[in-house]
Structure 1
Amino acid sequence: MQYNKIIEHIVTWLKSYAENAHSKGFIIGISGGIDSAVTSYLCAKTGLDVICVEMGIHQNPNEVNRGLDHISALEDKFPNVSHHRINLTDTFESLKTVLPSNAQNHGLSMANTRARIRMTTLYAVGQANGLLVAGTGNKVEDFGVGFYTKYGDGGVDLSPIADLTKTDVFAIAKELNVIDSIQNAAPTDGLWEDERTDEGQIGATYPELEWAMAFNENEFALEENLSKRQREVLAIYRKFNRANKHKMIPIPVCVIPENLK
């Protein structure tokens, strides 16, 4: 992979897209993770306006501090970058009080609600400033295992790194000299109050999932030669892919037959 040229290509694509959309630039939610760090850096390199938003909801302090350190480093390097800190904890807790008790007590439902509150916040601030919401999903998350929240972090205007694997994203972070604390942090979705990682939730590492995604898409791949762990990873990948397929395809439309119109 020619990462320097890929960086240039993405930056050019971002700038062209924004200009064609008559947008002033981009807004990005900063999580303290590698994907949002790389995405915001690429957006900043366009020279267009960039607003980074830190949106804590009962957030782990380590994640918050990494995100703020990244924002500070970006602002030091790029005069077109600014930021907002918006604490959404009270907003989240207020919404919970009006929901049915089974929703309040459903862990995954509440985790996804956090992501959807953040999406709403990004669009509110972004629209007020004439900015596009830049997505931070990578190829494995967006098109492999569907490891994101529908209409949460999946609700974006454009996806600059969605054709890159997680391995690629880490390599680009190194090329861009993203701060070490983010490069060294274990990937996490930041939707839980504990420190659970993506690997812990999925049951496989990103390099393993990348292998499974490539294997699954290879029509000539033979499963009989796989190791026990490879079979386990392939099963994990396929389980998530099937369960989350609804996120990766267009919304189903009930088409009315012509004879009924």
Structure 2
Amino acid sequence: MQTEKVIDHITNWLKEYANNANITGFVVGVSGGIDSAVTSSLCAKTGLKTLCVEMPIHQAQSQVTRAQEHIAQLKERFPNVSDARVDLTPVFEQIKSVVPEVEPSAQLDLSLANTRARLRMTTLYYFAGLHKYLVAGTGNKVEDFGVGFYTKYGDGGVDLGPIADLLKSEVYQIGKVLGVPESIQVAAPTDGLFGDSRSDEDQIGASYDELEWAMKMKDEGKKTEDFEGREQEVFKIFIRLNTVNQHKMNPIPVCKIPVNLL
């Protein structure tokens, strides 16, 4: 990958899109992970106003520290960058207190994790509406179009996806050139939605390198029976997630009314 040229291409694309939409800047949720760090850096490089929003919900201190380190570094380098911190923990706890109680389960944990992501989306759009900004998505190609590893109408609810055509490995390459803090570059990827230390790999069952391989194999028309051992296991994981998460990747179905009924 021609990293410098890709950076320039994305930066120019962001600037042109915003100018055509008569928008004055971007808002980005910064989590302490590589994807949000790269996205916010690219937005900052446009010269347009870039608001970095930190939105902890029972967040691990390591994630908070990384997010704050990145934001501080961006503000030093780019005068167009500002930040806001909204602690959504009390809001999250209030929602938990008013919905009906159910027995603890993995499904409850997932529902609450998705609720966190949707609270953050709502907060980002509050700032976007307030300042007439665009919400910049932080999803990469593997997450957005491979395994659907995001929350529908949560972190998937954005105005544009600057890095959505980049594989995770490519995001890391760009992050290095952009000068993303080393602490973020070496941290294990995590969505931070469960209030514990589980990583993306823990949740998915495969690393991003493995998922990139599986995505390539699927694009080449390979089948599960073409592999064995760990490769077959990873390919099965990819195909399963790609299949069950199509509802996230495709437009919502619309019931078309026959003309004779109108």
- TM-score interval, normalised by the smaller of the two chains: over 0.9
Q: Deviations over 1:134-181 (max 9, x none)?
A: 000000000010000000000000000000000000010011111000
**Letter of the structure 2 residue corresponding to residue 198 of structure 1:** D
1:130 & 1:237 partners in 2: Cα distance?
A: 38
Alignment of 1:187-226 (within 5 A): 187-219=189-221, 221=222, 224-226=225-227
Contiguous gaps of at least 5 residues in structure 2: none
Q: CA deviation at 1:222?
A: 6.0
TM-score by structure 1 length? 0.97
1:156 & 1:103 partners in 2: Cα distance?
A: 33
Matched, 1:54 2:79: no
CA contact (8 A) 2:52 2:71 kept: yes
> Which of 158, 162, 165 in structure 1 is aligned with 2:164?
162
Alignment of 1:49-128 (within 5 A): 49-102=49-102, 106-128=108-130
2:24 & 2:121 partners in 1: Cα distance?
A: 19
CA contact (8 A) 2:224 2:235 kept: no
1:233 corresponds in structure 2 to: 234
1:260 & 1:104 partners in 2: Cα distance?
A: 46
CA contact (8 A) 1:23 1:130 kept: yes
Q: Secondary structure at the match of 1:102?
A: coil
1:40 corresponds in structure 2 to: 40
**Letter of the structure 2 residue corresponding to residue 72 of structure 1:** A
Contiguous gaps of at least 5 residues in structure 1: none
Name segments (4+ residues, structure 1) moved above 4 Å: 222-225
CA contact (8 A) 1:139 1:166 kept: yes
1:145 corresponds in structure 2 to: 147
1:13 corresponds in structure 2 to: 13
CA contact (8 A) 2:225 2:232 kept: no
**Letter of the structure 2 residue corresponding to residue 40 of structure 1:** S
TM-score by structure 2 length? 0.97
Q: CA deviation at 1:107?
A: 0.5
1:258 corresponds in structure 2 to: 259
Q: Deviations over 1:14-70 (max 9, x none)?
A: 000000111111000000000000000000000000000000000000000000000
1:140 & 1:100 partners in 2: Cα distance?
A: 35
Q: CA deviation at 1:226?
A: 2.5
1:123 & 1:3 partners in 2: Cα distance?
A: 31
Q: Deviations over 1:177-201 (max 9, x none)?
A: 1100000000000101111000010
CA contact (8 A) 2:134 2:159 kept: yes
CA RMSD of aligned residues (A): 1.2
